[in-house]
């Protein structure tokens, strides 16, 4: 189990709300943090899959005669010569989820380019790669479809509806009717997906790049056909996932399967190219957004009809209408959606799934409406601020969107804005300003944690959630420290292992909100058990007292009435002949829970972007960004700020650069590398000013903390394209904004 | 990756002796020199280059930057891109070269990439780099996937029905504008090749990219003495702010006298199948008044022969803006 020691962490007088650096920081910057692909086991072999070079058709024959005899090669596996895999059954809540449900080699049909059709196993990675390249696969190719323009496979289904949206739109004095497109985006975390599978008899340990060890086990035991308790999944550090590592992908099942066949540990690292094919992506969306309003800017109708691409077998829905029903006050509304099937790998959740592309459409349409009304975009939103969630008729647990806009406007200097296109100049460049709002759900899921206070004054905190680079190790140490008074440098946090108490997935921005109450309860329970031990038994330190008479501070149990009565905790445990004072805690999910029946739970924010534009060279850059986020109480603002800043940088990529393009003849993602699929570089990242409003959301949990992992990406692209329009007069409705678009200015 | 033999050459003649056995010095060469390796090893991992013998030339010296007798510059083949870009003489007298180098790749790559390797870097055409797809440059006769494919970044000048790939180097564009000379030593002795004649048009043999023959080793590059009254600049346009190849770039060397263009050397990158010298534009500009109208007119002339592909029509406009702005920068009509 990995223990992330609080290495030289400075002691803050009030730990919560302080700016604590990550306790795992020194391990990471010194290279001692062991990531999945760093794991090396004795006798380990390497697996390299053979990826199909057609996007649709059948595998007719596989010739591995050459490959099998190559240096170092142990085996070539494909359909028919390896024990088949099962499908896993339907998920229960957030357990048992997998997006690409077909196990590798289930049939001989190829449905997307890059689908695994065989796998080579050899002593070194290079040998396995050479062997994989030498496997000759004969295909019978069929026509494939990777068309960019999406057409609904069935009629649209209603996601949310109130009033008469169509009628109200038709009679509205001001109308906006536009279609917005977001491209296929690939998560591209720097850490490649990887699995190291090691069997001992019929038990397997999977070192896995996963954001959800518990879910991974739930799926894998079913697919491998072994008892659940025989599967252990470990993920100590993750080089990020952005959602792409939430649910298992074929390579993990394949690695476990071939390791079982060859009887040796196997490492499989997915290549960057394959990461565009087999481990999910944010699907392309095409969203028609219609707004009807009165001349004074009151919304009367909102219609959001959207399509997203999905794979042939899996009906992945990108929930673009996530925020549409509650964001603004509008009496008549309809959100409806449908899928478009493509010969592509199965899509999956990517940072802010649904809301991020959805808010690009909605907030772009709102900006276009503000221009049509000749109204300040902040004023337009203020006039449509709802008093409650109008889709559920529930009060918001905590909504400060108007204040987000006000604070943002002040920080940004919005009052100085000249709304005329191209009117603002600085240093010989045209500048453009744009803003958008954002939201992301505030949720909590089930979580359990255990805290043990040891005789030597140290404490361990364990739960099977993950630190995906967001600072979970640090936050949990802080929470446990606050609950017990035990200093950070005496706290070990253990995460990312299915042998630990079940913890939540690191997704949906709810890991922190879910696990904090469990850890805090576990820590209090451990203290309580310590105090109970000091009052009971024949050697009790405080015989005759009740636990309520005592408190625990500075590593000692003492009478509340007499602080000098303190007994070191080691003595308390020794007298009771107990190894450690143990407490466990849990928190319940909000999904279907009481809170979600009484409240509408969301975070909100406002994004302000400045771009510079040089028409002579068609050069556009984001030069300044202000983000004001209402996400409850900030437990550790430093990593929280990192999350927003990182999301804004990603949002710049979404607005200006990122797009996976499929070659229509080969059906392959063609720019499947980081030179041709471009993301923001440091040089593209401007100064980013992040403010948290810090209103505790006590409906969600006792600390009032909501998650911040995703919300920073929401609204960012819309704020940027609004700024682009302000600078250039070009309204880009299909992302990314390209030089081609700007040359029209 | 294929198995290959590796020799660390100790002398120039040893290196040439081994490479002379190669059947070709072009695509498919069984013997390759390796310098920084940032192009070659990358392509070997992709299976695009499959040499059976690598001759490491890193121990051959050839890494000095010296003044020539005539007052020009002699740049050893193994001078690293970073060293060349930051060399005080280059920064002062050949600014376009320094700017071109610094606009390319990343700091890490520039620290290891060499002058000769940069000169000989291969196209970034995505189909060339993907062995599952047809490409005349990689496999002559197999077809060109980029025509009617994803050709946004490819060429509009010098294309043929067989290949439309760009030469991606920034440095090469500056070298063309600066009238560089390539010095080669081969099995038959030494020879010099003007930079403009070094790279070939694709024609119907896109696998042949340069005039190099088996065994030819680039030993150094020379630049003529700088024109002390001229300003040289390099402007690179691309989607993001750094670490990306050019969509269009321009190297300009301009001397203005009496409000007129007196001396002009122009080359463009990102738009041609080789680093593209703009001789006709140079002629048009020489003697013309330095003003926006002249510059616009010159930019139009630069793309007169442009043949846009399905996805890169915007380059016709972008190239003009690029060349025009580079001229404005070099003549002081613009400052940023
Ligand atoms: C991610 C990435 C981004 C990049 N971005 C840019 C960019 O924006 N702009 C840009 O201009 N470049 C860019 N490059 C390319 C980079 O500049 C080249 O890879 C580099 O200059 C090649 O130099 P090298 O010494 O590593 O060449 P090598 O890989 O060692 O050699 C390249 C070729 O030249 C041959 N060769 C080398 N030396 C000699 C010699 N003396 N005689 C004969 N043949 C020789 C080799 O045999 C080989 O065929 C980028 C590269 C990468 C990987
Ligand atoms: S443009 Fe040239 S390099 Fe690209 S696919 Fe065509 S032939 Fe190959």
Chain B: closest CA distance from residue A632 (Å): 35
Whether residue B314 lies inside any domain: the answer is yes
Q: Which residues have C-beta within 8 Å of that of residue B13, sequence separation ≥ 6?
A: none
Considering the domain architecture, whether residues A484 and A425 belong to the same structural domain is answered as no
A511 and A528 in a common domain: yes
At residue A537, the pLDDT reads 86
A736 and A599 inside one domain: yes
Does residue B251 sit within a domain? Answer: yes
- The answer to whether the Cβ–Cβ distance between A618 and B245 falls below 8 Å is no
Q: Does B10 sit behind a cis peptide bond, omega within 30 degrees of 0 on the bond before it?
A: no
pLDDT tier, A208 (very low <50, low <70, confident <90, very high otherwise)? very high
**Given its phi and psi angles, is residue B293 left (phi above 0), alpha (psi -120 to 50 degrees) or beta?**
alpha
What's the gap in Å between the CA of A670 and the closest CA on chain B? 7
Q: Are residues A524 and A644 in the same domain?
A: no
**DSSP designation for B210:** B
Mark whether A615 and A650 lie in a shared domain.
yes
Residue A529 domain flag: yes
Residues enclosing ligand 2, CB less than 6 A? B 123, 125, 127-128, 135-137, 144-146, 154, 163-165, 206
**What is the pLDDT tens value at each position of chain B, 336 positions in all?**
678 999 999 999 999 999 999 999 999 999 999 999 999 999 999 999 999 999 999 999 999 999 999 999 999 999 999 999 999 999 999 999 999 999 999 999 999 999 999 999 999 999 999 999 999 999 999 999 999 999 999 999 999 999 999 999 999 999 999 999 999 999 999 999 999 999 999 999 999 999 999 999 999 999 999 999 999 999 999 999 999 999 999 999 999 999 999 999 999 999 999 999 999 999 999 999 999 999 999 999 999 999 999 999 999 999 999 999 999 999 999 999
Residue B3: the pLDDT is 87
Partner-chain contact A617 B150, CB within 8 Å: no
Expressed in angstroms and rounded, the spacing between residue B119 Cα and the centre of ligand 1 is 7
User: Mean per-residue pLDDT for A406-431?
Assistant: 98
Tokens of B203: 């024609």
Most A CBs within 10 Å: which of B46, B48, B150, as the mutation test of the A interface?
A: B150
**Nearest atom in ligand 2 to B144's CA:** 6
Structural domain span for residue A614: 398-441+595-742
d(CA A73, CA A42): 17
- B interface toward A at CB cutoff 8 Å? 1-2, 47, 124, 126-127, 130, 132-133, 145, 148-150, 235, 237, 239-245, 247, 314, 317-318, 321-322, 324-325, 328, 334-336
> What's the CATH code of the domain at B36?
3.30.43
User: Which of B41, B132, B147, B236 to mutate: most A Cβ within 10 Å?
Assistant: B132
Residues A491, A467 share a domain? yes
Residue A466 lies inside a defined structural domain of this protein:
yes
Q: State whether B132 and A666 contact (CB < 8 Å).
A: yes
Q: Are residues A457 and A424 in the same domain?
A: no
Q: What are phi and psi of B18, to 5 degrees?
A: -70, -45
User: Is A295 inside any structural domain?
Assistant: no
Could you tell me the two tokens for B193? Answer: 């090749």
> What number does the ligand 1 atom closest to the CA of B49 have?
49
Per-residue pLDDT at B1:
61
- A512: pLDDT confidence band, cut at 50, 70 and 90? confident
The closest alpha carbon to A357, from A737, A713, A726, A745, belongs to A713
A614 vs B contacts (CB less than 8 Å): 336
Interface test with A, best of B105, B107, B130 (most A CBs within 10 A): B130
| A263, burial (CB in 10 Å: exposed 0-12, middle 13-18, buried 19+) | exposed
* pLDDT at position A3: 37
| B235 contacts A657? CB cut-off 8 A | no
Ligand nearest to the CA of B214: 1
Q: What is the pLDDT of residues A180-194, one digit of tens each?
A: 999 999 999 999 999
CATH code, domain carrying A555: 3.30.365.10
| Distances in whole angstroms, Cα of residue A576 to Cα of each of A16, A486, A545, A572, B243 | 33, 21, 15, 6, 64
Which residues approach ligand 1 with their CB closer than 6 A? A 675; B 32-40, 42, 57, 77, 81, 104-105, 109, 113-114, 116-118, 120-121, 168-171, 217-218, 245
- Model-level ipTM above the cut of 0.90: yes
8-state DSSP, A470: S
**Are A550 and A661 within one domain?**
no
- Nearest neighbour of B247 by CB, restricted to A616, A676, A739: A739
Nearest to A283 by CA among A361, A186, A154, A360: A186
A457 and A558 co-located in one domain: yes
- Is A623 near chain B, with CB under 8 Å? no
* A561 and A652 assigned to the same domain: no
Minimum-distance ligand 1 atom for the alpha carbon of B114: 25
Annotation marks residue A710 as catalytic: yes
* Sign of the Cα pseudo-torsion (A290, A294, A295, A296, in order): negative
Q: Check residues B182 and A14 and name the one with the higher pLDDT.
A: B182
Of B150, B237, B245, the CB nearest to A670: B150
Q: Do B241 and A683 touch (CB under 8 A)?
A: yes
Domain count of chain B?
2
Q: Is residue B222 part of a domain?
A: no
A126 touches B: beta carbon within 8 Å: yes
Contact B149, B216 (CB under 8 A): no
Q: What is the pLDDT of residue B2?
A: 77
Residue ranges making up the domain that contains B247: 231-331
**Apex B332 CA angle, B330 and B336, nearest 5:** 85
Question: What is the number of the ligand closest to the CA of B133?
Answer: 2
Asked whether the beta carbons of residue A668 and residue B145 sit closer than 8 angstroms, the reply is: no
| φ, ψ for residue A452, nearest 5 deg | -125, 125
pLDDT at B189: 97
Chain mean pLDDT for chain A: 94
Query: Is the predicted pLDDT of residue A11 greater than 60, yes or no?
Result: no
Beta-bridge partners for A338: A307
Distance CA A3, CA A253 (A): 28
Q: Read off the pLDDT of residues A460-474 as tens digits, 9 standing for 90 and up.
A: 999 999 999 888 999
Taking CA atoms only, the protein residue closest to ligand 1 atom 23 is B117
> Do B245 and A675 make contact, defined as CB atoms within 8 angstroms?
yes
- B5, burial (CB in 10 Å: exposed 0-12, middle 13-18, buried 19+): exposed
Name the closest ligand to CA B130.
2
In a domain, B86, yes or no: no
Chain B contact probe: residue of A739, A741, A745 with most B CBs at under 10 A = A739
User: Among A574, A589, A604, where does a domain finish?
Assistant: A589
B/e letters for A559-598, b = 16+ CB within 10 Å, e = fewer, are eeeeeeebbebebbbebbeeebbbbbbbbebbeeeebbee
Atom of ligand 1 nearest to the CA of B81: 21
Q: Please state the rounded mean pLDDT for residues A300-313.
A: 98
What pLDDT does B242 receive?
Answer: 96
For A218, phi then psi, to 5°, come to -60, -40
Nearest C-alpha in A relative to B319 = A617
* CA atoms of B154 and B150, how far apart (whole Å): 9
Q: Over the stretch B140-162, which tens digit does the pLDDT of each residue have?
A: 999 999 999 999 999 999 999 99
Interface contact flag, A428 B335, Cβ < 8 Å: yes
Is residue B236 situated within a structural domain? Answer: yes
A367 in a structural domain: no
- The rounded Å distance from CA B206 to ligand 2 centre is 8
Residue A14 pLDDT exceeds 70: no
The domain spanning residue B308 has which CATH number? 3.30.390.50
What's A78-100 look like in SS3? ECCCCCCCCCCCCCECCECCCCC
Name the active-site residue from A410, A710, A734, A740.
A710
pLDDT tens figures, A345-363: 999 999 999 999 999 999 9
- Whose C-alpha lies nearest to ligand 2, atom 3? B128
**Is it the case that residue A549 has pLDDT exceeding 70?**
yes
pLDDT score of A1 more than 80: no
Contact assessment for residue A522 and residue A580, using Cβ atoms and an 8 Å cutoff = no
> Given pLDDT bands bounded at 50, 70 and 90, which one contains residue A589?
confident
Distance B331 CA to ligand 1 centre (A): 32
A557 & A474 share domain: yes
Give the SS3 label for residue A514. Answer: helix
Residue B293 within a domain: yes
pLDDT(A280) > 80? yes
Ligand nearest to the CA of B172: 1
Atom 18 of ligand 1, nearest CA residue: B118
Spatial CB neighbours of B246, under 8 Å, sequence gap ≥ 6? B103, B168, B170, B236, B237, B238, B269, B270
Please identify, among A547, A574, A589, the residue that sits at the C-terminal boundary of a domain. Answer: A589
Asked whether residue A645 falls in the same domain as residue A554, the answer is no
- A738 touches B239 (CB < 8 A): yes
Q: Which of B126, B148, B322 sits opposite A617 (nearest CB)?
A: B322
In this predicted structure, what is the pLDDT of residue A595? 85
State which of A567, A589, A611 marks the end of a domain.
A589
The total domain count for chain A is 2
Q: Is residue A550 part of a domain?
A: yes
């Amino acid at each position: 189990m990995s223990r992330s020691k609080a290495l030289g962490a400075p002691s803050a007088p009030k730990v919560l709300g302080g700016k604590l650096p990550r306790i795992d920081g020194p391990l990471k910057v010194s290279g001692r943090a062991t990531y999945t692909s760093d794991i090396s086991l004795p006798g380990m072999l390497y697996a390299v899959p053979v990826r199909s070079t057609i996007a649709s058709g059948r595998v007719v024959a596989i010739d591995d005669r050459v490959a099998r005899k190559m240096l170092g090669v142990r085996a070539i596996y494909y359909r028919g010569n390896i024990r088949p895999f099962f499908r896993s059954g339907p998920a229960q809540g957030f357990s048992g989820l997998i997006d690409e449900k077909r196990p590798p080699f289930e049939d001989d049909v190829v449905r997307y380019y890059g689908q695994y059709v065989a796998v080579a196993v050899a002593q070194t990675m290079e040998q396995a790669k050479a062997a994989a390249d030498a496997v000759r696969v004969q295909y019978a190719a069929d026509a494939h479809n990777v068309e960019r323009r999406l057409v609904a496979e069935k009629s649209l289904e209603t996601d949310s509806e109130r009033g008469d949206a169509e009628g109200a739109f038709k009679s509205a004095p001001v109308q906006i009717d536009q279609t917005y497109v977001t491209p296929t985006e690939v998560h591209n975390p720097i850490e490649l997906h990887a699995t190291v599978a090691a069997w001992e008899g019929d038990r397997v340990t999977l070192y896995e790049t996963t954001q959800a060890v518990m879910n991974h086990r739930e799926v894998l035991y079913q697919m491998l056909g072994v008892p659940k308790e025989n599967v252990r999944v470990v993920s100590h550090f993750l080089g990020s996932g952005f959602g792409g590592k939430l649910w298992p992908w074929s390579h993990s099942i394949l690695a476990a399967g071939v390791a079982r066949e060859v009887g040796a540990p196997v490492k499989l690292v997915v290549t960057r190219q394959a990461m565009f094919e087999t481990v999910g992506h944010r699907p392309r969306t095409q969203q028609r957004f219609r707004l009807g309003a009165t001349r004074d800017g009151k919304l009367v109708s909102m219609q959001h009809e959207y399509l997203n691409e999905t794979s042939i077998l899996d009906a992945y829905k990108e929930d673009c209408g996530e925020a549409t029903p509650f964001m603004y006050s509008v009496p008549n509304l309809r959100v409806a959606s449908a899928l478009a099937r493509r010969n592509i790998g199965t899509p999956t959740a990517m940072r802010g799934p649904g809301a991020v592309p959805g808010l690009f459409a909605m907030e772009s349409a709102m900006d276009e409406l503000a221009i049509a009304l000749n109204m300040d975009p902040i004023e337009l939103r203020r006039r449509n601020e709802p008093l409650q969630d109008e889709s559920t008729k529930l009060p918001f647990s905590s909504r400060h969107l108007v204040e987000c806009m006000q604070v943002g406007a002040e920080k940004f200097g919005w009052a100085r804005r000249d709304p005329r296109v191209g009117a603002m100049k600085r240093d010989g460049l045209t500048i453009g300003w744009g803003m958008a709002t954002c939201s992301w759900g505030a949720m909590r899921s089930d979580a359990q944690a255990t805290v043990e206070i040891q005789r030597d004054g140290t404490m361990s905190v364990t739960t099977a959630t993950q630190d995906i680079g967001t600072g979970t190790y640090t936050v949990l140490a802080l929470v446990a420290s606050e609950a017990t008074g035990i200093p950070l440098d005496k706290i070990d946090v253990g995460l990312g292992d299915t042998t630990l108490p079940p913890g939540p997935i690191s997704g949906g921005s709810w890991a922190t909100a879910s696990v904090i109450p469990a850890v805090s309860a576990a820590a209090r329970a451990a203290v309580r058990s310590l105090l109970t031990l000091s009052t009971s038994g024949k050697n009790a330190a405080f015989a005759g007292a009740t636990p309520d008479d005592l408190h625990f501070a500075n590593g000692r149990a003492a009478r509340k009435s007499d602080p000098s009565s303190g007994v070191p905790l080691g003595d308390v445990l020794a007298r009771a002949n107990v190894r450690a004072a143990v407490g466990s805690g849990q928190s319940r999910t909000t999904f279907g829970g009481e809170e979600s029946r009484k409240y509408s739970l969301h975070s909100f924010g406002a994004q302000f972007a400045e771009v510079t534009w040089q028409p002579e060279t068609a050069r556009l850059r984001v030069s300044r960004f202000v983000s004001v986020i209402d996400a409850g109480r900030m437990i550790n603002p430093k990593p929280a700020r990192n999350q927003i800043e990182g999301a804004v940088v990603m949002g710049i990529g979404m607005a200006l650069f990122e797009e996976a393009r499929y070659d229509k003849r080969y059906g392959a993602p063609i720019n499947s590398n980081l030179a041709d699929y471009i993301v923001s570089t440091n040089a593209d990242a401007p100064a980013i000013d992040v403010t948290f409003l810090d209103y505790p959301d006590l409906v969600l949990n006792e600390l009032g903390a909501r998650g911040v992992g995703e919300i920073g990406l929401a609204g960012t692209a819309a704020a940027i394209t609004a700024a682009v329009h302000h600078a250039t007069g070009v309204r880009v409705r299909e992302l990314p904004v390209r030089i081609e678009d700007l040359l029209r200015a | 990756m294929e198995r290959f033999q590796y020799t660390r050459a100790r002398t120039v003649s040893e290196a040439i002796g081994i490479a002379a056995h190669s059947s070709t010095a072009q695509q498919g060469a069984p013997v390759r020199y390796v310098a920084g390796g940032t192009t070659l090893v990358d392509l070997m991992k992709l299976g695009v280059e499959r040499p059976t013998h690598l001759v490491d030339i890193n121990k051959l010296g050839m890494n000095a930057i010296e003044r020539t007798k005539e007052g020009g510059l002699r740049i050893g083949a193994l001078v690293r891109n970073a060293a060349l870009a930051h060399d005080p003489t280059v920064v002062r007298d050949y600014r376009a070269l320094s700017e071109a180098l610094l606009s390319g790749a990343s700091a890490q790559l520039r620290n290891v990439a060499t002058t000769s390797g940069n000169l000989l870097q291969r196209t970034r055409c995505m189909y060339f780099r993907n062995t599952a797809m047809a490409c005349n440059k990689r496999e002559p006769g197999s077809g060109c996937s980029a025509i009617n494919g994803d050709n946004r970044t490819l060429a509009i000048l010098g294309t043929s029905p067989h290949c439309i790939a760009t030469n991606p180097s920034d440095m090469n564009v500056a070298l063309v504008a600066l009238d560089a000379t390539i010095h080669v030593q081969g099995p038959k002795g030494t020879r010099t090749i003007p930079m403009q004649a070094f790279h070939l048009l694709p024609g119907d043999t896109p696998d042949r990219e340069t005039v190099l023959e088996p065994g030819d080793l680039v030993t150094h590059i020379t630049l003529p003495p700088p024109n002390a009254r001229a300003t040289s600049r390099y402007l690179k346009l691309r989607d993001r702010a750094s670490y990306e190849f050019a969509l269009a770039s321009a190297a300009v060397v301009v001397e203005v006298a009496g409000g007129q263009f007196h001396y002009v050397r122009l080359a463009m990158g990102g738009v041609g199948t080789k680093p593209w010298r703009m001789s006709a534009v140079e002629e048009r500009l020489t003697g013309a008044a330095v003003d926006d109208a002249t510059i616009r007119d010159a930019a139009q002339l630069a793309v007169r022969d442009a043949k846009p592909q399905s996805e890169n029509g915007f380059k016709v406009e972008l190239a003009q803006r690029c060349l025009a702005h580079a001229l404005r920068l070099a003549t002081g009509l613009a400052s940023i």
